[in-house]
Amino acid sequence: MNAALSDYPLLAAINSPEDLRRLAPEALPQVAAELRQYLIDTISRCGGHFAAGLGTVELTVALHYLFDTPRDRIVWDVGHQAYPHKVLTGRRDQLQTIRQTDGLHPFPVRSESEFDTFGVGHSSTSISAALGMAIAAKQKGDDRQAIAVIGDGAMTAGMAFEAMNHAADVDANLLVILNDNDMSISENVGGLNNYLAKILSGKFYSSIKDGGKKVLQNMPVISEWAHRVEEHMKGMMLPGTLFEELGFNYIGPIDGHNLAALTDTLRNMKALKGPQFLHIVTKKGKGYQPAENDPIAYHGVPIFDPKTTQLPAAKKKVTYSNIFGEFLCDLAEKDPRVMGITPAMREGSDLIEFSKRFRDRYFDVGIAEQHAVTLAAGMACEGMKPVVAIYSSFLQRAYDQLIHDVALQDLDVLFAIDRGGLVGGDGATHHGAYDLSYLRCIPNMVIMAAADENECRQMLYTGYQHEGTAAVRYPRGTGPGISPDRTMTQLTIGESRTIRSGQKVAILSFGALLEEAKAAAEILDATVVDMRFIKPLDTAVIDSVSAQHSLIVTLEENALSGGAGSAVNEYLASRLESPPVLNLGIPDRFIEHGDPRDLLERCGLTASKIVQRVNELSA
């Protein structure tokens, strides 16, 4: 590491929240300062999620100082913001291994620490999970606390509001903390507002409010008038009307970097019963100016020099996401019906240029995958050509909409499915391991998997031209480096291409593992077919290779259960005679985070592993 633990005298002595709670309140600002600097020094040397954690330093210190964790449950939404939490809960010295093979998980995960009370990675789950914990505590007569920490982006998902609506109905002892790091409400953050939050969260205000209700409960007209006056006065000062209407006692907004105000307010709120909502305002990237200025660029960082003001220049390699972004712009120039839809993945899906050039046809719906898919369905009903740019693991969240709202009606919607396959450091929550399986069983679907950059563009155009529901799946990052032809070329649906002819063994490759298949085939003298289509299958080529080879190998970067190999098996099972089939894909277990090459090796999907498996069968 760049700096020794001796440079962080207080932080070096904190190996658990119990150590933190032994400190005097006056020491907490120094702890926060050391923790922030430790994050900067460490993540700059190993890479990882950066800006979000810098923004939650004070909140993390306050929560672990005031609450009896892990007995009190803290659920972090998504988990990008939980790096400070990992440092304070016994994983300080392991932080430099985060997201690396066999290192710390990128997000909270129950198997890693008892302080990680709920496994997260996808957005907007925290309130539901914490509510479940609160209900369970009530049933068991346990007085422990349940706290959900949710970011403002995660509040765009309907699931968060479903949970809040239910929390009020069961009158659960639940504290929801909105970590607002984006909304421009600086005028509401300051000494007066912190004072109001402290007063409104205190026992004096709460006792008068409850006592007044008892006095006025038999005087309904006056009681209703008093309630309206109270809500009117609070509404003039506090933007919490919506949360109050959902049944929460709303406090805030307060400065999430003011430890004194934060600890005073949280200490008061601990004593309150029922659903509580604390709204704090933080700065993403707090304490590191470049990250404050550009929190999107510094959301996840490679290794960099924190003394400079710029991240290292990325290598100028064209990614599959770049191919998609360029394709959509080219398509939109020719067809005014083209609509681009994304659930908060503008940068990741490379819709930046499209969003600038075609503003009236660009729709970022927030973290609301279900809405994104049904929105596309509605557009398709009216003759538009919607393209939904979505990660494989996020499309899982809109599965019913995909079936019920799109495929069942055979609507003309194209799904550009990014991050298909193993994505590396983000781990099990983000691997696109299941899309071929969950898409293949849906009627009215055309499903394609790109083997290279040029094929990706051709498939996107083929899906656009197809009058019905189509999906194109492509991996994260770069491909073999085949420059795409920018002319619009349509493939024949259901037609594969034979790459190499060989003896005895035929490798049917689905998608981005084609280069591994070709390398293995050179050693085995095997036939290689780029299948391209998972649905419909090229059954003619399967008939041909099964008649001429003694072993068929299917290769896919997808779960073996129900995937492309299963489709081949199902077809061959209908034949009276067929050669044995070796299915290679992601095994039936959740794959952890790590270097992408390491993960492929562990799943047996590299050329050397393919050769090894074939030779074992031939022995």
Residue whose C-alpha is closest to residue 329's, from 416, 231, 256, 437: 416
Q: Where are the beta strands (DSSP E) in 394-474?
A: 414-418, 445-449, 469-473
Does 315 participate in catalysis according to the annotation? no
Cβ atoms of 384 and 339 within 8 Å: the answer is yes
Cβ atoms of 149 and 126 within 8 Å: the answer is yes
**Cα–Cα distance for residue pair 219/159, rounded to 1 Å:** 38
**Cα–Cα distance for residue pair 22/14, rounded to 1 Å:** 10
Residue whose C-alpha is closest to residue 51's, from 153, 177, 160: 153
Show the tokens assigned to 168. 């009020």
Does 114 participate in catalysis according to the annotation? no
Show the tokens assigned to 467. 């009058």
The b/e string for 259-282 (b: 16+ C-beta within 10 A; e otherwise) is bbbbbbbbbbbeebeebbbbbbbb
**Cα–Cα distance for residue pair 135/336, rounded to 1 Å:** 51
Cβ atoms of 435 and 420 within 8 Å: the answer is yes
- Cα angle for residues 342, 320, 372 (degrees, 5° grid): 15
Return the SS3 of 295. coil
List the catalytic residue out of 385, 397, 476, 518. 397
List the catalytic residue out of 34, 86, 91, 369. 369
Residue whose C-alpha is closest to residue 478's, from 314, 603, 297, 295: 314
Helix (H) or strand (E) run with residue 266 in it: helix 259-270
Residue whose C-alpha is closest to residue 343's, from 286, 393, 293, 296: 393
> For residue 422, what are the CA distances in angstroms to 61, 357, 456, 602?
34, 32, 18, 11
Residue whose C-alpha is closest to residue 118's, from 134, 99, 140: 134
Does 284 participate in catalysis according to the annotation? yes
Torsions phi, psi of 47, nearest 5? 80, 160
Reply yes or no: is the peptide bond before residue 253 cis, omega within 30 of 0: yes
**First vs last C-alpha separation in the chain:** 49
Report which residue type is found at 379.
Answer: M
Residue owning tokens 């005014």? 336
**Cα–Cα distance for residue pair 16/86, rounded to 1 Å:** 10
Q: How many CB atoms lie within 10 A of CB 229?
A: 10
**Cα–Cα distance for residue pair 284/56, rounded to 1 Å:** 8
List the catalytic residue out of 92, 198, 284, 440. 284
Catalytic machinery residues: 284, 369, 397
